[in-house]
Structure 1
Amino acid sequence: MAGARRGRESGRMTRITDVKTVLVTAATGKTGRRVAERLAARGFAVRAGSRSGGTLFDWERPETWGPALEGAELAYAAYYPDLAAPGAVEALAGFGRLAAGAGVRRVVLLSGRGEPEAARVEEALRVAVGSGVELAVVRAAFFVQNFTEGALAQGVAAGEFTFPAGSVAEPFVDADDVADVVVAALTEDGHAGAVHEVSGPRLVTFAQAAEELGAAAGRDVRYVPVSEERYAAELAGYGLPEPQAAWLAGLFASLLDGHNASVTDGVRRVLGREPRDFADAVKAAFAPGAGA
């Protein structure tokens, strides 16, 4: 609660009843889309920031940030491709300065659990926004939806996916739970200065994930562990530039080396309920009409 006290002492504690406009960056992404939908349902005026949407916002084009922030009172920052990417520190620091200058009163940052580089970005943003902006950080585990909406979905649909994760277990988190935590941090008091680490309720290996995906989809799904180098080669074979493929494969391998193999109570502390289990989340994804 120290962070909440700091927010109140700054004299800028946001009264949500006064808030009209929220900028949601990466609003077509896994969490951005869900956050935007939830905020709109609550009556907020949502600026759905994306490279091709109604509000132009592109992390690779800093000139789009200021106009998107102008007049917004809350902002959700979901950086693409990842906070561990080169240039992320500078980007979020610049975004933070613009947000503070535009009068944004509260920012929630999506971060990665167990990523040292992400922690440096968090601090850069914290310094950039200063004491006049409430900042909360949501550090998320590996998304369940990476198997159903993201990079692994094509392999899952074909019955076999590869990944450089060996036999490590991960507390996969449902993107809907992440979105609920983000919305709470944006719209409720008491989150200023907080760092919420969110995960699913249990550890699941990738082989177990394949079994549970297969059970939900009604077909066999197999996980094939591969080396970092082979995975980079596969990504390059799909057309990703070799330097980016090598960086992405290295990021996955570093995150899935076992240091994140523990569950957190972040969802329960923020929302007062348990996070959704992996099996339940993939059943929902493969339910009739869900589109997975």
Structure 2
Amino acid sequence: MTDDAKTTLPSDALILVLGATGKTGRRLVARLRDQGRAVRAASRSGETRFDWTDRATWAPALDGVSALYLVGPPTPEPIADFVDQATAAGVRRFVVLSGRGVEVFGDSFEPSMAEAERVVRAAGVDWTVIRPNNFSQNFDEDIFAGPLRAGRLALPVGDVPEPFIDAEDIADVAATLLTEDGHTGRTYELSGPRALSFADAVAELADAWGRPMRFEHITADAYVAELTADGVPADTARALADVLAWLADGHNAPPTTGVRDVLGREPRDFSVYAKSTAPRS
């Protein structure tokens, strides 16, 4: 890390964290407040109400803000207007949560992430983009959690390895990018230090959690059928299946150096995550 990268945002600068009740947002808020930073935690159900579909909530959330952690909406339409309003309100630093591979599949599968990158890059501000791999926390906080609790995670990913990234590391990276200089105009791909297959990940979790759990590879069509049977809208189910099929080709399999490049340390291993989430007896 260069000397200029250690120059910090003014200590009294207000930082807005969108998605502040989400996997990365709530961890980021905690880190920034531990550092003594002024943070506005915003979400539909958070301390400060922010709703992408209710534009009346935008101005109060942006008032007095210098730096912003941008977690995009489900659809890309509001992003350009919001970024325009944010820059007009005085926001000069943006850290955008995107996803690894978005430059390839973004418009098809993750249009909001792709749009957020495009808009912020063109906004004439201090911007940094982070593109993480699959979150480790997806296994206990998100889309994989329910099936795992039932004992079976079935996905159309085969035996492709994935270097799962711990959300704790994403929060550490985002906190650094929001508060230190030297990262303007950079895109960091974030992964864990070790790629392992979904089957191996489930096996590690089963061992750490002390539960019988197994992984099963299924076809994309079978995956869509299972999701829709559980009430997931068909278009959402197909989009998820398409992303997983894209991952199955190994595009995101190699570990990256992004965490080390920003923090000067290695990312947390998946085994650390597995042990940290084990039920306490």
Confirm or deny a common fold (TM above 0.5): yes
Amino acid at match of 2:67: L
> Which residue of 1 is the match for residue 32 of structure 2?
39
> Which residue of 2 is the match for residue 181 of structure 1?
173
Deviations 1:34-87 (A, max 9, x none): 011111111222211111222111233344323311211111011244xxxxx4
Q: Within 5 Å, give how 1:113-262 maps onto structure 2.
A: 113-115=100-102, 116=104, 117=106, 118-119=113-114, 121-127=116-122, 129-130=123-124, 133-262=125-254
Q: Is the 8 A contact 2:98 2:130 kept in 1?
A: yes
Q: Is the 8 A contact 1:47 1:55 kept in 2?
A: yes
Question: Where do 5+ consecutive residues of structure 1 fail to align?
Answer: 6-13, 82-86
| Distance of 2:53 and 2:157 partners within structure 1 | 29
Residue 188 (structure 1) shift: 0.8
> Which residue of 2 is the match for residue 54 of structure 1?
47
1:286 aligns with 2:264: no
1:102 aligns with 2:94: no
Aligned mate of 2:68, from 69, 72, 75: 75
Q: Is the 8 A contact 2:15 2:65 kept in 1?
A: yes
| Distance of 1:229 and 1:41 partners within structure 2 | 46
Deviations 1:122-147 (A, max 9, x none): 122211x22xx210111101100000
Question: Where do 5+ consecutive residues of structure 2 fail to align?
Answer: 107-112
Which SS does the other structure have where 2:153 is aligned? strand
Structure 1 moving runs of 4+ over 3 Å: 60-63, 118-121
| Distance of 1:240 and 1:184 partners within structure 2 | 37
> Which residue of 1 is the match for residue 258 of structure 2?
266
Residue 18 (structure 1) shift: 4.4
Amino acid at match of 1:142: N
Give percent identity, aligned residues only: 47
Query: Structure 2 vs 1, CA of residues 156 and 210 (structure 1 numbering), >3 Å: closer, same or farther?
Result: same
Query: Structure 2 vs 1, CA of residues 256 and 175 (structure 1 numbering), >3 Å: closer, same or farther?
Result: farther
> Which residue of 2 is the match for residue 10 of structure 1?
none
Residue 98 (structure 1) shift: 1.4
Q: Is the 8 A contact 2:163 2:255 kept in 1?
A: yes
Q: Is the 8 A contact 1:167 1:207 kept in 2?
A: yes
1:28 aligns with 2:15: no
Residue 15 (structure 1) shift: 5.3
| Distance of 2:62 and 2:69 partners within structure 1 | 11
| Distance of 1:267 and 1:150 partners within structure 2 | 23
Residue 254 (structure 1) shift: 2.2
Which SS does the other structure have where 1:148 is aligned? helix
Query: Structure 2 vs 1, CA of residues 228 and 60 (structure 1 numbering), >3 Å: closer, same or farther?
Result: farther
Q: Is the 8 A contact 1:140 1:197 kept in 2?
A: yes
| Distance of 2:247 and 2:25 partners within structure 1 | 22
Over the residues paired in the alignment, what is the CA RMSD in angstroms?
A: 2.1
| Distance of 1:64 and 1:236 partners within structure 2 | 33
Deviations 1:256-278 (A, max 9, x none): 42111101011111111110111
TM-score, length-normalised on structure 2?
0.89
Q: Is the 8 A contact 2:128 2:183 kept in 1?
A: yes
Query: Structure 2 vs 1, CA of residues 253 and 95 (structure 1 numbering), >3 Å: closer, same or farther?
Result: farther
Residue 119 (structure 1) shift: 4.5
Which SS does the other structure have where 1:73 is aligned? strand
| Distance of 1:256 and 1:72 partners within structure 2 | 41
TM-score, length-normalised on structure 1?
0.86
